[in-house]
Amino acid sequence: MNEQQTLEQKVEQRRRETLEKVSPMYRSTYVKAYEGNSKAAAIRAFCLYCTGDQRNEIRDCTSYACPLRECRPYQEGDAVRHRTVIDLAAVER
């Protein structure tokens, strides 16, 4: 990587490289996350990246210390669990 590149150029290059490797099925999730307008997409993309795009690995995640563990997607009862997490976040404010 050229040392003359700006941080923005480095980020853009890494994102392009990542998108080339991502399963086409999840590419739009990564793009949405990269756009910065969706925290949910960012969490999904992070979990997919961490598990090599394996949804079942996200569901069965063993990274017990991960700060995103309770927010990870593809769980049974997602709607109820996410509502509880959101309610807890509102209380903490």
Whether 2 is in a domain gets the answer no
How does pLDDT run across 9-27, given as a tens digit for each residue?
999 999 999 999 999 999 9
Whether 77 is in a domain gets the answer yes
The SS3 call for residue 29 is: helix
Residue corresponding to tokens 């099925």:
25
How does pLDDT run across 32-61, given as a tens digit for each residue?
999 999 999 999 999 999 999 999 999 999
How many other β-carbons are positioned within 10 Å of the β-carbon of residue 69? 13
Please give the structure tokens belonging to residue 2: 């050229």
Q: Is the pTM of this model over 0.85?
A: no
Whether 70 is in a domain gets the answer yes
Whether 39 is in a domain gets the answer yes
Give CA separation, 18 vs 42, 63, 88, 90, 93, in Å. 14, 22, 33, 34, 35
Which structural domain range is residue 65 located in? 7-92
Whether 1 is in a domain gets the answer no
Indicate the number of domains in the chain: 1
Q: What's the confidence (pLDDT) of residue 5? A: 84
Give CA separation, 2 vs 10, 13, 54, 69, 76, in Å. 9, 11, 33, 36, 45
Q: Tell me how far apart the terminal alpha carbons of the chain are, to the nearest angstrom.
A: 42
- Contact at 8 Å (CB) between 34 and 15? yes
Whether 72 is in a domain gets the answer yes
